[in-house]
Structure 1
Amino acid sequence: MMTRRNFATALVAGAAASLISARGMAASEPTSSPAIPAPLKARNVVLAHGLFADGSCWTEVIARLQDKGLKCTAVQNPLTTLPEAVAAAQRVLDRQDGLTVLVGHSFSGMIVTEAGVHPKVSSLVYVAARAPDAGEDYTALAKTYPTPPASAGIVFDGDEGRLTEEAFLRDFAGDLPEAKAKVLYAVQEPFHKALLIGKTTQAAWRSKPSWYAVSTEDRTINPDLERFMAKRMGAKTIEVKASHLSLISHPDTIARLILEAAGH
């Protein structure tokens, strides 16, 4: 299997002029300092959303990345099955012109892990996201840590699941102003039960440079589980004092992390 070092070497051979050094994060300190290759300069960013959301959750981050000259596209995750979610991301990646950073929040870390092997993807960014290994049962992995409070707030209407308003405001968007959190709740996209049983068949983080933003106040994914996954993948890791929605409550910090992964 290709290592991260071999992957970086292969890309450098074809794009040496784009190579720049990774820079430190001013707003957050890394929890570890893995020896990862310096990122190649990417011109594109593709962002995938998770459960209880849609592509608009990336609006604040996208505005900051566009201000730096990056081309951004938010994937509209169908939230039906993992293969269909991955296919939606792959179609967006196919349309990119040049090297691309693939970013995922929450459940869409599954998408990043699977679709990140796409040849246009130069680096991966996980934001409070799932990061399973190939074939791993993420649900079983998550059960080895204390159950996060948001899990108790999921309700189903037939095959469609969603968060109750109380759980959404308290456990999903806990550090956002209530009025803003209620707007996000109003556009919550239900997910299908079939989505939760999917398993990744490959782990892109085993061959591509990765970055991870841990949300220290997360009540949707256990923060210690996030730390475990970030350490296992050897990701450049930052910790953000935020709820599960750090991409909305701390868009500057998340945008800087993506910019670093893009070699800017």
Structure 2
Amino acid sequence: MSPCGAPNARRSRMTPFRSILSGLLAGAATLVATAASAAPPIRDIVLVHGAFVDGSGWRPVYDILTRDGFKVSIVQEPLTGLDADVTATKRVIDQQDEPVILVGHSYGGAIITEAGNDPRVAGLVYIAAHAPDAGETESGNGKRYPAIGRDAITKTADGYTYIDPARYAAEFAADLPPAEAAFEARSQGITAASVFTTPIVDPAWKNKPVWYMVAKADHIISPDLERMYAARAKAQQVVEIPGASHSVYRSHPREVAALIEAAARGSAL
């Protein structure tokens, strides 16, 4: 064989081998993807409410998730300080037997940002929620992205905050039935002002997968701030709900539950 022909012969002999190798690799990748897609979703869900509400607001989402076979636990936050609220959340996480999807609404986002470092937490879902970085506070970020209804929050003489009941429906729950919004206004959780000025120390969203829902008509957290949080956390999925108030977790429970279930499937992979 001529010197010029030898390289061509070697290439010819290697071509079938490369084809076989490529086929094996493609097959292996398909098997891995198939196995991953078949992985059962995480079943344990922990729901965390925010300021000016309590855990009962999660009932519509709870009903959907439990109907779909998930085990759902709801934290009742004391709302006396970020550390106390994180501790209350960890107490509920400790009760779970399996990996957990941790869901936070509003100030609950700051809570899960710290509590989400628990090794049992597999994924984080933020529903119109704060997701501050290390050293950031909710109030500081709120000044960078002012919300329409921020001046409806009133401070008590002993350092707690609440939303003026006369403005609660318009600013916090505009898309709820009037009777529900009125009841929520009178049953709201009075919240320590310190929770809004306590810096985050170790944001879990830097190490855990994130899903995010933006309420496009939110008057309590600016939708632009919500979008910034979602982009910065490199959210796996971002869902924007047109016309949704800050009470999106109550007014759009199907969409919220669907996002949580997507997180349960995605985190299982």
Which residue identity lines up with residue 237 of structure 1 in the other structure? Answer: V
Q: Percent identity at matched positions?
A: 40
Shift of 1:138: 3.2
2:259 matched residue in structure 1: 257
1:149 matched residue in structure 2: 148
Which residue identity lines up with residue 148 of structure 2 in the other structure? Answer: P
CA distance in 2, matches of 1:112, 1:197: 16
Higher alpha-carbon deviation: 77-86 or 191-200: 191-200
Shift of 1:104: 0.1
Q: Is the 8 A contact 2:175 2:245 kept in 1?
A: yes
Shift of 1:84: 0.5
Shift of 1:40: 7.2
2:241 matched residue in structure 1: 240
Shift of 1:185: 1.4
After superposition, the C-alpha distances for 1:112-169 in whole angstroms (9 at most, x for unaligned) are 1101011111110000000011222332222122x22321111222222111112211
CA distance in 1, matches of 2:142, 2:178: 29
Shift of 1:183: 1.4
Given the superposition, is the C-alpha separation of residues 234 and 47 from structure 1 closer, same or farther in structure 2, using an over 3 Å criterion? same
CA distance in 1, matches of 2:86, 2:52: 17
Q: Is the 8 A contact 1:219 1:244 kept in 2?
A: yes
Which blocks of at least 5 consecutive residues in structure 2 are unaligned?
1-32
Shift of 1:219: 0.5
For the residue of structure 2 that corresponds to 1:186, the secondary structure is: helix
For the residue of structure 2 that corresponds to 1:262, the secondary structure is: helix
RMSD: 1.9
For the residue of structure 2 that corresponds to 1:96, the secondary structure is: coil
Which residue identity lines up with residue 113 of structure 1 in the other structure? Answer: T
The answer to whether structure 1 residue 116 and structure 2 residue 116 are counterparts is yes
CA distance in 1, matches of 2:52, 2:102: 20
Larger radius of gyration: 2
Q: Is the 8 A contact 1:82 1:199 kept in 2?
A: no
CA distance in 2, matches of 1:40, 1:211: 18
For the residue of structure 2 that corresponds to 1:221, the secondary structure is: coil
CA distance in 1, matches of 2:259, 2:214: 12
For the residue of structure 1 that corresponds to 2:37, the secondary structure is: coil
Given the superposition, is the C-alpha separation of residues 167 and 43 from structure 1 closer, same or farther in structure 2, using an over 3 Å criterion? same
Which residue identity lines up with residue 161 of structure 2 in the other structure? Answer: G
Shift of 1:252: 0.3
Trace 1:6-85 onto structure 2 (pairs within 5 A). 19-20=36-37, 41-85=41-85
CA distance in 2, matches of 1:76, 1:141: 25
Higher alpha-carbon deviation: 131-140 or 86-95: 131-140
For the residue of structure 2 that corresponds to 1:149, the secondary structure is: coil
More helix by share: 2
Q: Is the 8 A contact 1:19 1:263 kept in 2?
A: no
Which blocks of at least 5 consecutive residues in structure 1 are unaligned?
1-15, 22-38
Q: How many residues align?
A: 231
Higher alpha-carbon deviation: 148-157 or 90-99: 148-157
CA distance in 1, matches of 2:53, 2:133: 24
CA distance in 2, matches of 1:108, 1:40: 27
TM-score (norm 1): 0.83
Given the superposition, is the C-alpha separation of residues 199 and 110 from structure 1 closer, same or farther in structure 2, using an over 3 Å criterion? same
Which structure ranks higher in relative contact order (CA pairs < 8 Å, sequence separation ≥ 6)? 1
CA distance in 1, matches of 2:221, 2:35: 36
CA distance in 2, matches of 1:117, 1:201: 11
CA distance in 2, matches of 1:138, 1:148: 12
For the residue of structure 2 that corresponds to 1:128, the secondary structure is: strand
The answer to whether structure 1 residue 170 and structure 2 residue 170 are counterparts is yes
